Structure 1
């Protein structure tokens, strides 16, 4: 009799990761439902969320320590991991670097350069280069929405985005010599 053969184990296919912004909204909606009419249940639900956040934050801290600084950069480009690190105040990059990382994820569809960031108000000012598009307000709105979505994962400190678009090109004023046929009279 021969030994039974077993099929090699395969790793399960990765599940689609939930977006940080969507998950945050969902948690808020559930907490609102729990607090609707019952303040004790709402307080208990909020305490439960805080306890879980503390637990997961401690676990993420330990993971980062075990990985060491040389292996952390591989994690920082992942939107889900980056949003978890930011949520727990563990992201090793400063806000300006994270804003740049978020904007990099949108190029070349929505290029934008940083004009300034006011940490006190959370307002990020960006300049959009002249576009080859139609210049429609809907195009600008789509770009702004894409930028805000990317920033919500990488830099939630940004609470408002002001997208500046360049004005019309200045009229070219051509200066040249008088045509040779023009006669001057004295």
Structure 2
């Protein structure tokens, strides 16, 4: 479908909604079209700005490198199944964008869309749920743009080192029987 055909189609649908007499539905549809136009316009503007700033080349001379690292552009590419990286590469890119949390992928359940991440005890702060909560939120925010197929994040805290050895008194000795001569 050409841009002209798409524009005509949008106008036809908006006209049909207006003719149906439901003013609220027609206004909502026009607002939806404006929002989508703003979203795509922002994405296109970002693409032009990124390509202009990098002279059309990203790191290593790759023209896509600057685009793939941008959240807005990446989300548009993923939305239309145009992103050249596979899911695992996009997840790694998202996690690389949050260096304040040392997160690594432990697994992904495709059926539920749950990404299991592992973090060190040192990264989780005090070892309580609060540290994991901020890491989870940061991961969810980053993954929303780069890997929307991740619907949930589960963070496990890996031990920072060997477990502590508890040292205490040994068991009480049993009384010894008196020796007989």
- On whether the aligned pair clears a TM of 0.5, the verdict is yes
Structure 1 residues 43 and 79: alpha-carbon distance in aligned structure 2, compared to 1, 3 A threshold: closer
What do residues 97-135 of structure 1 show as CA deviations (whole Å, max 9, x unaligned)? 10011011112x101111111223211111112215222
Tell me the secondary structure at the aligned position of residue 121 of structure 2: coil
Of 103, 112, 118, which residue of structure 1 is paired with 2:95? 103
TM-score (norm 2): 0.57
**Corresponding residue for 1:74?**
66
Question: Structure 1 residues 127-136 or 117-126, which shifts more?
Answer: 127-136
Distance 1:93 1:41 in 2: 38
Q: Secondary structure at the match of 1:139?
A: helix
- 1:143 is aligned to 2:163: no
In structure 2, the partner of 1:4 is none
Find the aligned partners of 2:130 and 2:142 in 1 and give their Cα distance: 18
User: Partner of 2:4 in structure 1?
Assistant: none
Partner in structure 2 of residue 21 of structure 1: none
Residue 122 of structure 1 corresponds to: 113
Question: Structure 2: any 5+ residue segments left out of the alignment?
Answer: 1-22, 49-55, 168-181
Deviation at 1:73, TM superposition (A): 2.1
Larger radius of gyration: 2
TM-score (norm 1): 0.55
Distance 2:126 2:32 in 1: 47
Question: For 1:106 and 1:95, how far apart are their aligned partners in 2?
Answer: 17
| Structure with more relative contact order (C-alpha pairs < 8 Å, separation 6 or more) | 1
CA RMSD of aligned residues (A): 3.7
Q: Distance in 1 between matches of 2:97 and 2:32?
A: 34
Larger mean CA deviation between 150-159 and 132-141 belongs to 132-141
SS at 2:78 equivalent: helix
Q: Give 1:80 shift.
A: 2.3
Q: Quote the residue 1:161 is aligned against.
A: 153
